[in-house]
Amino acid sequence: MHKKVAVILSGCGVYDGSEIYESVITLLRLDQRGAEVQCFAPNVMQLHVVDHYSGDEMPESRNVLVESARIARGNIKDVREAKVEDFDALILPGGFGAAKNLSDFAISGAQCTVQPDVLAFAQAFAQAGKPIGLICIAPALAAKIYGPGVICTIGTDHETAATLAQMGAQHEECEVSDIIEDKQRKLVTTPAYMLAKSISEAASGINKLVDRVLELTVN
Cα 57 to Cα 166: distance, rounded to the nearest angstrom: 30
Is 136 assigned a catalytic role?
yes
User: DSSP characters for 63-91?
Assistant: BHHHHHHHHTTT-EEEGGG--GGG-SEEE
Kindly report the backbone phi and psi dihedral angles of residue 60, in degrees, each rounded to the nearest multiple of 5, phi listed first.
Answer: -150, 175
How do 36-41 and 187-190 pair as beta strands?
unpaired
Cα 209 to Cα 99: distance, rounded to the nearest angstrom: 20
How do 180-182 and 187-190 pair as beta strands?
antiparallel
Cα 135 to Cα 92: distance, rounded to the nearest angstrom: 6
Catalytic residue from among 39, 112, 136, 174: 136
| Contact between residue 17 and residue 67 where contact means Cβ atoms under 8 Å apart | yes
Residues known to be catalytic: 136
